[in-house]
Structure 1
Amino acid sequence: MTACPRCATETTLLSAQGVAGCADCYRYLSHAVEQWLQQWSLPLRHEGEPLPETAHHLTAPPASIKPDAFWLHSLQPLQVIISSRTRYARNFVWARFPWCADSAELEQVRTRVERAARLSSWRFAISPTHRMKPSERQRWIDLRLASPPLRDNTLYGSLIVDEACAVSVLVNEEDHLRVQAILPGLQIRESIALARAALEALALQDELAFSDNYGWLTTSALNIGWGLRVSVMMYTPAIERMGQLQTVWQAAAELGGTIRGLYGEGTPASALFQVSNTHSIGIDEATVAAQVAGTAQFIAQAEQRAREQLLLTQARQLHEEVEQVYHNLGRERTLRAADALQMLSVVSLAAMAGWGHLTPEVWKEMLMAVRWEAPYDDAEWRAIRMRTLVRQVRNG
């Protein structure tokens, strides 16, 4: 049995899970990597070159930024394509991946990335997770600029956000470094350009693990290659109500996209979900962007058709259902996230049919109130918040 001489990750573990312990694993266990890629019918070679090096630039000290998100600013009620996100995953050559690194390595990773952010020409706010209040960490997750794994890494994690709150850098999450950009609507190419610019601004390229065979090396073999994940957040209450979600999702898969929950693998996917690429090895960035955009547009067209059909056949029923939702909220003391999303669908579709007055501000707060990934039970708070917001819509 072959094992990496540095971290002792065994070939059997790599071929079963698609993860390795360090950058050396991809060199010493290359045969196992190729077996794993073949298992998923993925290309065995990377196409493309690493990003060019970028010079360091001194800048003013980073400012403190309160939780906010650029993608929310222009959000409108009933918008089908909500946002576009690009994320690049990277790892240092001198440290093992976070899942098997020791405390000294994780601390060194955090210190190195935070220093790079301070030296960058960008104006970043740096927030180590151990200095953030639980409510602040959760708010960044609600805004999609942080993730549950980063929130839970209270010792060695760090969140770095640009002053526009469009770019965030997640340190010591699943990979050492995850740089993501989120823009409103369907702006995949623009989000790719922004995320690449932020990655270049950190000027860490010469320290990051890159293989001529596999591309950028990541904890999960599904992310090697460009280390690129492109996703579009979508809201399709009409398709869900018509019972067509699974059919539409299957058709989307045939177009090259995959469906994930709001916070990625393992989180619930319902009327609010992400469309993303399946892998980034053996495929260039432009093709990834085109596949995800085409899939999102296909789903958006299906949602528009479903909404038109609902307006013709169920307008009165929607008015009756939303009134029942309103009265039920007056009696409920707790509200689960899944139930809140169902109520959100009824309210939004009823508003489309002329019930109440749904403003952009109230709509944004409703989306934030769902809170799939709170670390504690938010059921009482959610019930109170949704009751207040639905009342505002009803009273106009």
Structure 2
Amino acid sequence: MLRWFEQNGPEGDVVISSRVRLARNLKDYNFSLKLDTPDAHKMIGEAAQKLRVLPEFKDFHEYHFENLEEVQREAMKERHVISPFLLSQSVAGGFVSSNEDLSIMLNEEDHIRIQAYRAGMDMERAYEAADHIDDCIGAVLPYAYDTQYGYLTTCPSNVGTGMRVSYMCHLPALAWNNKIQGIAAEIGRFGLVMHSVYSDGNKSAGDIYQISNQITLGVTEKELIENITNIVQQIVTQERILRNRLKEKQKISVLDGIYRSYGILKYARKVSLKDGLVLLSQLRLGLAEGLVKTPDERDYAIYQLMIGIQPGNLEMLASQELTEEETDVMRAQFIRENLPSIE
């Protein structure tokens, strides 16, 4: 079964993924930031004991940080299975589905973080999956809930539905035309925030951006989804307009950039992470716009390579610790072995 990042979903030329994240706390414990180590272990143990016997979790993998090496945790973060915050916790655990589209994190910023991914613009299905798992967990574990304020969370901005929804988008045309900062400022008026997924200081590598809501109180789950989806659809439209303009006015230059990027990816023996993301971004644009094609016209998901070239996943593949140079060599080899043919 393909993992969500190994496939392209609806509106997949621009939208890489839809994610729903639910924040929940157990009413009998202090919030995670106030939990001492023994209570953190106790909370995780109680939650895991109740969840592992649920039929909905029979195909999930259960993990606990004390049984994982640092590189395993890093690789999970790179694949979006766990959050950067969970990675920073010394005591943590959770469950992840076999195709990694559903993840339950224990002792994150809140006791329980449920997240569901779907490829492309498919937020409704992501929400249905998260909501179903939420109901299953809530049936066996008592949530901290207030009839006036909703779900009680560590961060006040999550109080209410406790839900954050986000779209991950590939926006090279908007980035090349210096439109990203303006869009980020504009969507802020609607309670949304935009940030680069892979950034090097103030610069984005790969032109991948995440757009998510900031407000959870006073609005329903349906309203949150409708608000962000309507705005992201407008961003998708703007991206496509600029892509078409590039194809009409600078087609040869765009094609030249795509084929040059492909040549480096195909033959380079050392590739840095930043260069790999930039080159793969070019190739993704070419495939999405039909400027280049695979011989069998297969709908190849380039984002799986963007995840695969991350250092933690490369070390996992190599089964050994790598120096920076060895990582760059391994990255180039991984790309060569997994790069689709084009014509």
d(CA) in 1 for partners of 2:43 and 2:191? 35
d(CA) in 2 for partners of 1:307 and 1:78? 14
Deviation, structure 1 residue 150: 2.3
Matched, 1:367 2:306: yes
The aligned residue for residue 152 of structure 2 is: 217
Q: How many residues align?
A: 324
Indicate the SS of the match to 1:249. Answer: helix
Deviation, structure 1 residue 165: 3.4
Identity of paired residues, percent? 22
d(CA) in 1 for partners of 2:166 and 2:202? 15
The aligned residue for residue 47 of structure 1 is: none
The aligned residue for residue 331 of structure 2 is: 382
Matched, 1:190 2:129: no
The aligned residue for residue 279 of structure 1 is: 215
Ranges in structure 2 where 5+ consecutive residues have no aligned partner:
316-321
The aligned residue for residue 53 of structure 2 is: 119
Q: Deviations over 1:210-262 (max 9, x none)?
A: 23443212121111111111111111122212222222333333444221343
After the TM superposition, which segments of 4 or more aligned residues of structure 1 sit over 6 Å from their partners? 372-376
d(CA) in 2 for partners of 1:178 and 1:125? 16
Ranges in structure 1 where 5+ consecutive residues have no aligned partner:
1-67
RMSD: 3.2
The aligned residue for residue 16 of structure 1 is: none
Deviation, structure 1 residue 334: 4.1
The aligned residue for residue 13 of structure 2 is: 79
Deviation, structure 1 residue 133: 4.1
d(CA) in 2 for partners of 1:275 and 1:326? 29
Indicate the SS of the match to 2:32. Answer: coil
Question: Higher relative contact order by CA 8 Å / sep ≥ 6: 1 or 2?
Answer: 2
Matched, 1:231 2:166: yes
Deviation, structure 1 residue 292: 1.0
Greater CA deviation, 92-101 or 297-306? 92-101
d(CA) in 2 for partners of 1:373 and 1:321? 29
The aligned residue for residue 131 of structure 1 is: 67
Deviation, structure 1 residue 268: 7.5
d(CA) in 2 for partners of 1:106 and 1:373? 26
Deviation, structure 1 residue 96: 2.2
Greater CA deviation, 318-327 or 269-278? 318-327
Match of 2:95 among 142, 156, 160: 160
Question: Quick check: 1:234–1:272 contact (8 Å CA) kept in 2?
Answer: yes
Q: Deviations over 1:42-97 (max 9, x none)?
A: xxxxxxxxxxxxxxxxxxxxxxxxxx864235316962112211111111222222
d(CA) in 1 for partners of 2:301 and 2:121? 22
Deviation, structure 1 residue 325: 3.2
Deviation, structure 1 residue 106: 0.6
The aligned residue for residue 347 of structure 1 is: 283
Paired AA for residue 251 in structure 1: E
The aligned residue for residue 99 of structure 1 is: 33
Q: 1:313 to 1:370 in 2, by over 3 A?
A: farther
Paired AA for residue 64 in structure 2: P
